Amino acid sequence: MGVIKQQSIKSTLLIYIGFAVGAINVVILFPHVFGKNEFGLTRLLPEIAMVLVPICTLSAVPTISRFFPYYASHVKNKDNDMLTWSVLATLIGFSLFVLGSIFFRESIINAYKDKSPLFVTYFYLLYPNVFLFALFGVFESYSASRHLSVFPNFLKELVMRLLTTVLIGAYYFRWISLDVFLWLFSLLYGALLLVLMIYLYRHHYLHFTFKVSNVTRRLSRQMLTYSVSLLGATLFTLLAKNLAPLILASKNGLGDVAYLTIVTYVSMLILIPQRSISTIGLPVLAQAWKERDMKKIDEVYTKSSLLQLIYAMFIFLVIWLNIDNFFMLLPEGYSSGKYVVLYFGIARVIDMGTGLNSQVLATSRFWRYDLYSSIVLLAFSFPLNFYLINDFGLDGSGYAELISIFIFNLIRYLFIWIKFGLQPFNWDTVKALAISLVAYLACMWIPFIIHPFIDIAIRSALFVVIFASLILVFKVSGDINSTVYTTWNKLRGRREE
């Protein structure tokens, strides 16, 4: 866990800083600078791109993570052809997407032209969004497999949002038109991709060769089978998790997509640690399965569950303690998403608390069950979103998310427990939940104080002190305690010098 702990701390800090910048963009700038339809469009395009990436990469991203340890062990850097074939697969996959979008263009337009005409007008911007996002994903996965995960996170989580802030400012001062803004916004991942390629080149890891290596010859059939199966798993998971905005856009219009964007962004704060821990933990798990090191797998699974649960409960309860203050700061209408935040938040806590179950499955010999559980997720998510949104509107998306994510993680938890004898919960899990409840109850009774910003600051500060103190005093996580004490000793040492 040493590599995971060190890099996850750095990545998590970067992601939180990026999310702070993103919060300014999504919560303050976008709703006040753009109309709700324009705002909704800037969210819908990346959401669709995210769903289409598995198709456009032909599932090259998880394949790199799964099989790279074999290349690292048996092929020299300059002869490593994995990146070449992954990029080629992405070019082929994107070409298939373009052909498919041309063939189904009329059906897509008919589905959205009444409620979301702006999406129809700018439909062509899907192409740069999808292509550049897919290519960046391939190079990000390759970089992470080289244990260089911090810089790609820096680009994606911080630089991307800072560039978005600049674009919003340029549009606000009328230096650029809406058309130019949307084009530049769609090309941002191209700039990040170029910088990442330069970074890999300077580390001597950017090599392209069409000479087929012995590892590729030996594992090509396994990689092809794995890619095809994971293509379905990843696609089903992403589609299930991004169905709500697509259904809302067709049924209620881009306005509700804007409201859901705020809800989703707030709830995504809870998932920040998972993003860094999973990116760093995936190659560690792949190496552990290769070496059949079940002790290491159990350690990663258990510690990731506890760390993620602590982070998730902390962030979720800070959000919910301040939810009314938060909506006071937004334009009228956005508060309709208040209880959707609650349902999404609980779903995120469940997802975090069950640890790296997806990564454990995806890197094991039972990786096909990652596909099967994803099919189950989509099987529940689609009808739940369709009917509950139809009956309850925006709140329906929250009900659907909570139910489907609970079932999805329950299936994976039970499968890993039965097949491998691994389950991530222990007495520390109970202590983390109890401390979270105590800290929340201690702060929820505080009356409103003068102004939303002041109230948020006081309420959050008190919660942080109570929660953090109890986590440290009761030694819930050895990793957290050791990190805090190590940092404290370093600071003391610098002061004494």
Determine contact, residues 282/69, Cβ cutoff 8 Å.
Answer: no
Structure tokens at 57: 């990469």
CB atoms within 10 A of CB 491: 10
Specify the 3-state DSSP secondary structure of 228.
helix
Can you give the pLDDT at residue 346?
Answer: 95
For helices 36-57 and 254-290, angle between their N-to-C axes, nearest 10 degrees: 30
What's residue 30's pLDDT? 84
Ranges 3-12, 106-115, 252-261, 274-283: which has the least confidence: 3-12
pLDDT digits (tens, 9 = 90+) for 4-43: 555 555 666 776 787 788 878 887 888 888 887 888 788 7
Element (H, E) at 224: helix 214-241
Q: Which amino acid is at 399?
A: Y
- Give the span between the Cα atoms of 380 and 239, in whole angstroms: 12
Burial state string for 438-455 with b = 16 or more CB within 10 A and e = fewer than 16: ebbeebeeeeeeeebeeb
CA separation, residue 236 to residues 271, 364, 408 (Å): 19, 19, 12
Q: How far is CA 208 from the centre of its chain?
A: 29
Instruction: Specify whether the CB–CB gap between 245 and 237 falls below 8 A.
Output: no
Residue whose pair of structure tokens reads 């299930």 in the numeric block = 240
Please give the pLDDT value at position 241: 64
Q: Where exactly are the structural domains of the chain?
A: 2-425
Q: What region, left, alpha or beta, does residue 173 occupy, with left being phi > 0 and alpha being psi -120 to 50 degrees?
A: alpha
In the numeric block, the tokens 């109970």 are attached to: 430
As to burial, measured by CB atoms within 10 angstroms (0-12 exposed, 13-18 middle, 19+ buried), residue 219 is middle
Alpha helices by DSSP H, listed for 75-125, are: 82-103, 105-112, 117-121
Tokens coding 257? 């997509």
Read off the tokens for 456: 């948020």
Which among 310, 309, 334, 312 has a CA at the least distance from the CA of 323?
334
Dihedral sign of CA atoms 106, 401, 149, 55 in order: negative
Q: Residues with Cβ < 8 Å from 173, sequence gap 6 or more?
A: none
Model pLDDT for residues 134-164, shown as the tens digit of each residue: 999 889 888 887 877 778 888 888 899 999 9
Confidence check: pLDDT of 435 > 90: yes
User: Is the separation of the CB atoms in 67 and 216 below 8 Å?
Assistant: no
Residue 65 pLDDT > 90, yes or no? no
**Across the chain, what does the average pLDDT equal?**
83
Dump pLDDT digits (tens) for 370-426. Answer: 777 777 777 888 888 888 888 888 888 899 989 989 998 999 999 999 999 999 999
User: What CA–CA distance (Å, rounded) separates 463 from 440?
Assistant: 7
The two tokens of residue 262 are: 């705020």
